[in-house]
Structure 1
Amino acid sequence: MNPGDEQGYGDYGDAGHTRTRLPESDPYGGAPRRSPHRSSSRSLVTVVGVVVLLIAAIAFANRGDGSSTDDTTAKDGGPAAAPTTPSGTRPVNTKTTGVPTGFAHTEQGAQSAASNYAVALGSTGMFKKDTRDTLLRLLYTSAAADRLQGPMDQAYSADFLAKMGLDAAGNPPKDSTFVSRVVPVGTSVQQYTEHDAKVAVWYLGLIGMAGSSSTDPVTSSWKTWTFDLQWTGGDWKIASDAQKDGPAPVPGDDKAATSDEISKAIEEYGGFTYAR
């Protein structure tokens, strides 16, 4: 959870889950598709999901009437399908500590906020206490941040960081690149009023260690991250959030890249400011 500017979220880094693999000549090169066994080092987003599920649910106001509710609610009471084409509206013109902020007080603004917050919370910065604390206070409501501070510190313990191949400060070994990125694929508004919104973000996550001696190579996973947002202080803030697995497409037959290729790609390819 997590850890630039338009080059791509360099300030809070690059999320998914990982599976442990014994080292070979290159843990990435030419590797066949890995079997879906679990390892002790679950993904960052899974850890965060566990943490937030421990927090009491925050009650929301009733759905407002009018066109905004009609557009996102099906006749049976469930969320209706939303257009999949981009709106073409630039999400924000401002950033705070590298994270887009100042989203519009609209459904589109809530979707853009949720997407960009998922990117920040699924980044490598979440593995460093100073950056994590900054993101916690920036993206969550004051009440949610107060409740999450302790559980977050416990979740990102020295033992957990060691399982991810990081030292106690969240740094990777020399000549290795730690990868943690969230790549939003789409969003869905499940509820919207003037005061709050529930937005689900479907995303592809990447996590692992790129390095010749890594036993935890970079792997991908598909998840859905649902944010309960509140409009406060002139922006959307997270009141609570939860995650679930999938939906995941059928894996392709792409050949796994080498550790050097992964490290180079992480350095060369930045992220985006996501907009609905």
Structure 2
Amino acid sequence: MGEIGKDTKGIFFDVDDTLYDHLQPLSQALKKVLGADEDFPYEAVYHRFRYYSDLLSARHGGVNAGGAEQDLQDMRVKRAMLALADFGIEVTKAEAERIQGEYLQGQFQITPFPEAVRLIREIQAAGHVAGLITNGPAEHQWAKIKALGMDQVVPPSHIYVSGAVGYDKPDPRLFAHVNERTKTEPSSSFYIGDSWRNDVVGALAAGWTSIWFNHRQVEPETDHRPHYFAASYRELASILLP
């Protein structure tokens, strides 16, 4: 790889619920297993689902590493039970396993937000480094990246999956690894993601510019302060390519 110019930005995106609508496969799973109707609080449940996913992953550590498949499955089942319990919905372990199975299957029937592909191409055309950083087992996340067609948009050398690297967001070592491999600097690196714990806190700890993609309009979880807030790709474009 050639030298990165001093004015070149490193702009990296989260994958789940940043490049595509991550709510859709969960909604379909809840409809199929629980018979949830149109009045069900899908988006609120999704937020708690992601909250517990991030929390349990952080508590466990290494859940996305190779050989941790049973721990990962246990975490996935527990997050569904905890998220639904917050809304007074008690499900059995077997039901939670069914929800997870349907949710997992639906994750590969996805398409990216059209604006996401457009913005990434504009970033590349402006001479900046564009890439992806995502938590999860390597094989699973790469399957989603390929289902989205993002491997045809972003060079594989600029795609980083925590299960392959060995560190999970929000660990700043993951971001440092990306800087080292892409020859970018933290001071000129941007990270865009929807997860408060993983994306906002992680980027700030790494010394990156943090952009919270809060398109679901949820509340901050701590007193950390991202550098920018964006609720749409139009807003992201105005921040990244002024």
Larger Cα Rg: Structure 1 or Structure 2?
Answer: 1
Regarding TM over 0.5, the answer is no
TM-score normalised by L of structure 1 = 0.28
Q: Calculate the TM-score normalised by the size of structure 2.
A: 0.31
More strand by share: 1
Comparing both chains, which one has the higher relative contact order based on Cα–Cα distances under 8 Å and sequence gaps of 6 or more?
Answer: 1
